[in-house]
Amino acid sequence: MNEAIRSDDFGGELMLGEPMSRHTSWRVGGPADRYYRPAGIDDLSRFLAALPADEPVHWVGLGSNLLVRDGGVRGTIIATHRVLDGIERLDGNHVRVEAGVPCAKLARHCARWGLGQAEFFAGIPGTVGGALAMNAGAFGGETWRHVVAVEVIDRQGRRHRRMPSEFSVGYRSVRGPAPEWFLAADLEFESEGSGDPDAIRKLLARRKETQPIGEPSCGSVFRNPPDDYAARLIEAAGLKGFSIGGARVSDKHANFIINTGDASAADIEQLIDHVRSVVERIHGVRMQTEVRVLGERP
């Protein structure tokens, strides 16, 4: 069932029973019933329109910020990375970028164009679609501060252009018309010549020094509580290096959980729950996760 098949009606690639461990940065996750990589936006529109009305649909970019349970995912996964990958400069300080573009690639393009305030995207380990869906941020920057308009697609495959006023945006939180998914965004940055050409290099060096880059993780697991930092609370609770199965709280950054090589999704989820419960018992703070949990337990 893992063999790629082609439908006469669609130009993309449809895989049945596809292991999600191949598509998540934690390298865990059971099989998806259907995993579809569209040939483009028009193909995606036709595919969505043809799905049964009750078919669960989930979108995945780079698979960061995502924990897929060991029992896998019922329904269809739509893969955007390397598909919705367009990026263009519209004018002096406006950029159009599609949802499957890695945030780091957006930061590099803006640096070449001399646009300021885009450097923080280099610190987000996912795609622009994921950044739009959760108002992702890093190093003091946040995605929706730069949004001028977005293009979305609905369950019937129809495309719409929407303004920021149609969304409720908060810290790592975005609510808008549903069910719709982000295809692209028009973003505004500071004008040409305002960017620091070395800013991305400096931010990436800082990230490498403070985060376990190169080890399987999802990025930050917990949101920072008001006026505090999740990593500080976890470290102060004595949880750095704590392990369950193959999952371990990073010794380098306490808000990262690492797959040491043989972790299951259950190991990671149990460790998340343990960290949250210990921090609440010691500090009286109930931490909220950034990571999205998807799928079923075995």
Residues involved in catalysis? 172, 220, 290
Cα Rg of the chain, angstroms: 19
Instruction: Give CA–CA dist 293/68, Å, rounded.
Output: 6
Which residue in 141, 144, 153 sits closest to 195, CA to CA? 141
What 3 state SS string does 44-103 have?
Answer: HHHHHHHCCCCCCEEEECCCCCEEECCCCEEEEEEECCCCCCCEEECCCCEEEEECCCEH
DSSP string, the chain: --SEE--TT-SSEEEEEEEGGGSSTT----EEEEEEE-SSHHHHHHHHHHS-TT--EEEESS-TTEEE-TT-EEEEEEE-TTTS--EEE-SSSEEEEETTSBHHHHHHHHHHHT-BS-GGGGG--SBHHHHHHHT-EETTEEGGGGEEEEEEEETTS-EEEE-GGGSEEETTEEE-SSSEEEEEEEEE-BPTT-S-TTHHHHHHHHHHHHS-TTSS--S--BPPPTTS-HHHHHHHTT-TT-EETTEEE-SS-TT-EEE-SS--HHHHHHHHHHHHHHHHHHH-----B-SEEES---
